[in-house]
Chains A and B, each alone.
Chain A
Amino acid sequence: MKFPLFGRSLRSLLPLVSAIAVVLAFYIGTVVYLYDPEVSESLQLMQEAMPELFAAFGMANPSDSLCDFLLNYLYGFMFAGALVLMAAYMAQRLVVGPAKDGSLAWLLASPHSRFRLAFTLMAAEAVAIVAVVAFLWVSEVVFCELLFPGDLDQVALAKANMGLIALGLFAASLCFASGCIFQRPGLGLWVGAGACVLFLLMGLAASTGEGLEWLASASPFSLYDAYGLAAGEGEAVLGTLALLGASAVFFAAALAAFCHRDFSL
């Protein structure tokens, strides 16, 4: 780890990452504000009337508690989509962009191994993901305690957010690895980000039913089971561990590619 690079990388990610976090926090506030057991019942009726439409936005599960309400309206599409956006942006900002515009030469001209440089960039990505998810969890707790004191199962939501971190790391590692592996920087970004978007859409399409359920098992994103994690189910924990394992594999592939490839800077 090289701390000057680590700090500068985090600072360069700060504008968009903080913008995403703030927008999501506002969204959390709105969703929590909308929570009302009676309104929840009417929403449930709407959901029963238009199940495909709700499922298409990742809101397929009925909600009878504040925690379930949040999992239903935030964790299906909104948070996963934001993390994919963040992953693509971080890869662009830290690897793909510098390789494309030549500013990576500045880093490679420093007396540090490529392994150390790439590891530092990946650490910055991982810390950004953890920080954003932690911020979201704090926002959820604050809004819920302000509006519905004592109603939120904070531990259950924290468990779901642990899985969200694993999902974010998976998307970030995939985009980062793709950016390192492909010689053409633009292609690297599109392949990684495109795969993440595809996985996200596969999960959403599968949840609408109509014979598309098989898509869920083909998408690694389906390894993230927010409800299962909140309920403490072993299978959901295994899914999260699988996501973390896949992230480690992609980060290792990124390191190997970064250390051995040519950079025509």
Chain B
Amino acid sequence: MGSVIEIRGATKDYGKSRGVFDLSLEVGQGEVVGFLGANGAGKSVTMRMLMGFVRPRQGSVRIFGRDCFSGRAEIQKSVGYLPGELAFPGDMTAAALLRFTAAMAGIREGNCRCGCARGDELADFFELDVSAHVRSMSKGTRQKVGIVAAFMGRPQLLLLDEPTSGLDLLMQRRFVELVQAEKRRGTTILLSSHLLGEVEGTCDRAVFIRNGHVVYQAQAQELTLDSTLRQLYGPQALNRHWREVPAGNSSSGRTPGGKGGRR
């Protein structure tokens, strides 16, 4: 099984321990990998490097054997991307945005309200009202637009950054169905998340990142909530518990996070 994603010793330092450090990761053809980490762990930085938005200071980041920064344009012909923070260009309707995206990707088909037949199918599947303006949409509806845009080109590789963020339960379930269908089609998927359920339902393997380092890898079915929390936040995080302060012993004696307080 050849590697689709190949990150070797990549470092991108934003200072104050933010970024990724000596990160190595491989994702094989047809594999669905969950990329788990707490907020600020380095997931989005990794995605940015894979998308060729930023260049690592050290190491290499490659997709399909090409350098992600210098070979970005060629790589993007086969990649679908859903950013973690969705921001849309201009004030357009979802239909106009999807048509524009299809035109930019060179997959525009005439008479399709979302740019291509696959886009129309996906919009229907997610019950997306494409006549609404994207700026006025709720977080979940905007997320649907992002999902349609990422999947409509039938890419060989999907980079999904927190894909179910804002989706209601039914739409989360439909998203899982869609990912499973893509998996059967042989699409390689890297799914960044901090939600265990999202990874369990879709991924073969989970890679944990903490403070910019890959700290653990496991098959998705081996994951438990405790092991996931331990890997995401470190073992000490599980030792903190809420302890109720007696009513008479009010604010002066309460020390959040300290002994006898919130621990």
Residues of A that sit less than 8 Å from B by CB: 2, 4-5, 8, 11-12, 98, 101-114, 116, 262-265
Q: From A101, A102, A105, A116, give the contact of B51 (CB < 8 A).
A: A105
Which residues of B does A touch, CB under 8 Å?
48, 51-55, 72-77, 79, 81, 83, 85-90, 100-101, 103-106
For B73, list chain A residues within 8 Å (CB): 111-114, 116
The listed residue with most B CB atoms (<10 A of its CB), out of A2, A12, A106, A114, is A106
Q: Which of A11, A105, A262, A263 has the most CB of B within 10 A?
A: A105
Asked whether A5 and B48 contact (CB < 8 A) given A102-B85, A111-B74, A111-B77, the answer is no
Residues of A within 8 A of B81 (CB): 105, 109
Further contacts, 5 of them, CB under 8 A, given A4-B104, A102-B87, A105-B87: A12-B90, A106-B87, A106-B101, A107-B89, A114-B72
Pair B89/A265 contact, Cβ less than 8 Å:
no
User: Does the CB pair A262–B55 fall under 8 Å?
Assistant: yes
Q: Could you tell me if A111 and B88 are in contact, using CB atoms closer than 8 angstroms?
A: no
How many Å lie between the Cα of A12 and that of B97 in the bound state?
Answer: 13
* Nearest neighbor of A112 in chain B, beta-carbon distance: B73
CA distance A101 to B76 in the complex (A): 21
Separation in Å of the B135 CB from the closest CB of chain A?
Answer: 11
* B55/A103 in contact, CB under 8 A: no
* B104 with A2: CB separation less than 8 A: yes
Pairs A-B, 9 closest by C-beta atoms? A102-B87, A4-B103, A111-B76, A110-B104, A262-B54, A103-B87, A111-B77, A103-B89, A113-B73
With both chains docked as a complex, state the minimum distance between the C-beta of A69 and any C-beta of chain B, in angstroms: 41
Which residues from B are CB-within-8-Å of A265? Answer: 48, 53, 83
| Cβ-defined partner of A109 (8 Å) among B51, B88, B103, B106 | B51
Instruction: From known contacts A102-B85, A106-B88, infer whether A264 and B74 are also in contact, taking CB-CB under 8 Å.
Output: no
**Residue contact A262 to B72, C-beta cutoff 8 Å:** no
**Mind listing 7 A-B residue pairs with CB under 8 Å?**
A5-B104, A8-B89, A8-B100, A102-B86, A106-B101, A264-B53, A265-B48
- Chain A nearest Cβ from B110, distance in angstroms: 14
What A residues does B87 contact at CB under 8 A?
98, 101-103, 105-106
- Tell me which of A101, A112, A263 contacts B104 (CB under 8 A): A112
Contact for A262 among B53, B83, B85, B103, CB less than 8 A: B53
Q: Which residue of A lies closest to B153 (CB)?
A: A111
Decide: A110 near B88, CB < 8 A? Known: A105-B51, A262-B54, A264-B53.
no
Task: Tell me if A110 and B53 are in contact (CB < 8 A).
Answer: no
Chain B residues lying within 8 Å of A103, measured Cβ to Cβ, are: 87-90
**Residue ID in chain A nearest B90 by CB atoms:** A12
CB distance from A29 to the nearest CB of B (A): 31
CA A4 to CA B103, docked complex, whole Å: 6
Determine how close the nearest CB of chain B comes to the CB of A140; give it in whole angstroms.
Answer: 32
Q: How far is the CA of A109 from the CA of B84 in the complex (A)?
A: 13
- Please indicate the chain B residues that have their CB under 8 angstroms from the CB of A116 in the complex: 73
- Most A CB contacts (10 A, CB to CB) among B77, B81, B89, B103 go to B89
In Å, the complex CA distance between A2 and B106 comes to: 11
Query: Once the chains bind, are A263 and B53 in contact (CB under 8 Å)?
Result: yes
For B101, list chain A residues within 8 Å (CB). Answer: 106, 110
Asked if A111 meets B55 with Cβ closer than 8 Å, knowing A8-B90, A103-B88, A106-B88, the reply is no
Q: Which residues of A contact B76 (CB under 8 A)?
A: 109-112
The docked-state distance in angstroms from the alpha carbon of A102 to that of B83 is 9
A149 to chain B, nearest CB (A): 43
**With contacts A105-B83, A262-B55, A265-B48 known, is A111 near B106, CB below 8 A?**
yes
Q: How far is the CB of B48 from chain A (nearest CB, A)?
A: 7
Output the residue of A4, A103, A104, A109 with the most chain B CB within 10 A.
A109
Please report the C-alpha to C-alpha distance between residue A104 and residue B90 in the assembled complex, in whole angstroms. Answer: 11
* Interfacial chain A residues near B79, Cβ < 8 Å: 109
CB distance from B88 to the nearest CB of A (A): 6
Provide the residues of chain B in CB contact with A101, threshold 8 Å.
Answer: 87
Measured between alpha carbons, how far is A104 from B85 in the docked complex, in Å? 12
- In the complex, what residue of chain B is closest to A106 when comparing beta carbons? B89
Distance in angstroms between the alpha carbons of A238 and B93 in the assembled complex: 47
